[in-house]
Amino acid sequence: MTFTPEQFVTSSIVRYGKLNEYIQEKLVSDFSAIKGNIMIAEGLRKYIKENLETLKEKQKIEILDIGPAIGALSTLFTLQTLNEFGLMEKAQIHLFDVSAKVIEQTLNCKFFFPDSIIDPKLKNPIHQKLRQAKGEVGSAEKLPWKNEKFDIVLAGFLFCHLHDSVKPLVANEIERVTKKTGFMGIAETSAKTKSQTFSSPISTKLLEKLFKNTEIKFKSGKPKDKAYAICGQK
C-alpha cells in the first residue's frame, strides 16, 4: 500500500500517540526509545563540557524539541543533563509537534514521569520548566522561527515517522533554526519492527547526508542497531 506524505504522518500519530500514557507505552514496547535518548544525552554532555563557559554566560539556553510525543522524553533527558552542570534554570523549552494533544498534555504534565531513568528529585523542577514552556502545532517541513534561534535542537525518533519525500526539508529546517556552534541531537532507528507498520527507518549514513551543513561531533550505535544517535554543530 502506498501512502501520501500526509496519510503517512497521520497514520504514525494514530499508532504512537493514541494513548495518554505515551511514554509508559513506548518504554515498555520499545527500549530503543531510552537507548536513543541516552545517546543524545552523551553527545550533549560532551558539547556542554566543550562550551561550558559560553553557556554559563547566556541568560537563556533556548531548546527546541521537534516531534516530542507526549512527555517529551528527549527534553527530559536534556534537562537532566543540563542540571549536571548547573544550567537547567537557564533552559527555555519550545515544543513543536503536529499533534495538539501532544503539546497540551506535555505542557500540563499529564503524562507518566519515567522516574526509573530520570532522577525523581528533578520531577518538580522539570514539571515547572514544562509548564513554562512554549508549544507550537505544525508540520516540521516549515518551522515558525527565525534563523539561528536555538542553542539546542532535539529530534528523538522524528525522521522514522516522516515520509521520505519530506525528510530533506525537515533536516534543512533543523539546520536553519540552530545557532552557529549550537547543538543538534538526533536519535533514530534503522531497523523496522513488526509494531512499526507506519514507519520509514533511515540508516546512519543516509541521515548524515541530510545534514550537509552540520559537523558531526558524536555518533553512537551500530548501523544494524534498533537505535542510534548523531550529534553535531553547524
pLDDT (tens digit per residue) in 48-83: 999 999 999 999 999 999 999 889 999 999 999 999
For the cut 70, the answer to whether the pLDDT of residue 197 exceeds it is no
With beta carbons less than 8 A apart as the criterion, state whether 24 and 112 touch: yes
| pLDDT recorded at residue 6 | 55
Rounded Cα gap, residues 137 and 139, in angstroms? 7
Which of the two residues, 80 and 16, has the higher pLDDT score? Answer: 80
pLDDT in the model for residue 116: 86
Average pLDDT over residues 131-155: 97
The CA distances from residue 158 to 26, 55, 167, 199, in Å, are 14, 26, 9, 10
Checking if the pLDDT of 9 tops 90, the result is no
Question: 27: alpha, beta or left, given left = phi > 0 and alpha = psi -120 to 50?
Answer: alpha
Provide the pLDDT for residue 37.
93
Mean pLDDT over 102-115 rounds to 91
pLDDT of residue 179 exceeding 60, the answer is: yes
pLDDT in tens, 198-224: 578 898 999 999 999 999 999 998 766
Q: Percent of the chain, pLDDT > 70?
A: 82
Question: Is it the case that residue 134 has pLDDT exceeding 60?
Answer: yes
Report the mean per-residue pLDDT for the chain: 87
CA dihedral for 205, 209, 211, 214, sign (positive or negative): positive
CATH superfamily to which 5-233 belongs: Vaccinia Virus protein VP39 (3.40.50.150)
Q: Residue 11: is its pLDDT beyond 70?
A: no
The residue that leads in pLDDT, 34 or 193, is 34
Q: What residues have CB less than 8 Å from 45, skipping those under 6 apart?
A: 81, 84
Domain ranges of the chain: 5-233
d(CA 223, CA 227): 9
215 grid coordinates: 559537523
